[in-house]
Amino acid sequence: MNIECPNCKKKFSNDQFLYHCREYDPQLGVCKFYCPNCSASIDTMVTVGNISLGYVYSTGNSRFSGVIDYQIRDLKVDGTMVSYNGLEYDLESGDA
Ligand SMILES: [Zn+2]
**Per-residue pLDDT tens digits for 11-42:** 999 999 999 999 999 999 999 999 999 999 99
Q: Are 40 and 67 in contact (CB under 8 A)?
A: no
The pLDDT-based confidence of 75 (bands split at 50, 70, 90) is very high
DSSP state of 38: T
Q: Say if residue 1's pLDDT is above 70.
A: no
Q: Taking the model in full, what pTM does it have?
A: 0.92
The one-letter amino acid code at 17 reads F
Cα of 19 from ligand 1 centre, angstroms: 14
pLDDT digits 0-9 by tens, 76-95: 999 899 999 999 999 998 77
* 46/56 Cα distance (integer angstroms): 14
Taking a 5 Å cut-off on Cβ, the residues next to ion ligand 1 are 5, 7-8, 35, 37-38, 40
Quick one: pLDDT at residue 93? 87
* 94/86 Cα distance (integer angstroms): 17
Cα of 37 from ligand 1 centre, angstroms: 5
* 36/84 Cα distance (integer angstroms): 20
